[in-house]
Chains A and B, each alone.
Chain A
Amino acid sequence: GAVVSQHPSRVICKSGTSVKIECRSLDFQATTMFWYRQFPKQSLMLMATSNEGSKATYEQGVEKDKFLINHASLTLSTLTVTSAHPEDSSFYICSATPGTSGRETQYFGPGTRLLVL
């Protein structure tokens, strides 16, 4: 089956530092990747959509200068949380799909827990 990995699985950083999270599709080429955020006891909220070789599309209310997304290849997307603050602490999850029509299954990574002190 389709496998998506994320690295790191957990990160603790000091306020003001930047953190990079990698999302990789291991056995398929991901035309589109998505980044979600999940606070404790809440549902997943879509942050942005990235397509290989083009700029990411951010959801309303998500600061594109704070959450930098790079989809450099068909198997790798990165999310960089710049100048992280305690309110950025959350569970970040990526997903990937081989298509662009929306009719394909999205496959999710295991998530990254970010704690900003």
Chain B
Amino acid sequence: GIQVEQSPPDLILQEGANSTLRCNFSDSVNNLQWFHQNPWGQLINLFYIPSGTKQNGRLSATTVATERYSLLYISSSQTTDSGVYFCAVADDYKLSFGAGTTVTVRA
């Protein structure tokens, strides 16, 4: 299956700071999604982005499919941004998840 590596594993931010999370994958994909898992375990869809760039408020994402990586940008971070961010990819219909990046935003 496709290997997915996320970095960094942990990230501590001061409120208001910007950050970049990275997702590398080992093969061509037809599906790439970014999720935020909140403290109650709910996975919240952030982006469906197998290629290109998208923005949603303070979050944006870019996937360079030819180079097999995706970036998630968080700007002006808030304490509610804390949680685990997962990247998941698929080359068929089955998503493979990375290990996640745990983000802690301090007030």
Please report A residues at the B interface, Cβ cutoff 8 Å.
Answer: 32, 34, 38, 42-46, 49, 91, 93, 95, 97, 100-108, 110-111, 113
Segment of B16-24, B42-50, B52-60, B74-82 in the binding face: B42-50
Which of B31, B90, B93, B97 has most chain A Cβ within 10 Å?
Answer: B93
Interface of B is mostly: loop
- A-B contacts at CB below 8 angstroms, number: 58
**Residue tally, chain B, CB below 8 Å to A:** 24
Assess whether B86 is interfacial by the CB under 8 Å rule: yes
Chain A residues with CB under 8 Å of B88's CB are: 44, 106
- Cross-chain contact B94 with A110 (CB below 8 angstroms): no
Cα distance, A15 to B86, chains bound together (Å): 32
Taking CB atoms and an 8 Å cut-off, the chain B residues in 59-103 that contact chain A are 86, 88, 90-100
* CB contact between B48 and one of A34, A105, A108 (< 8 Å): that residue: A105
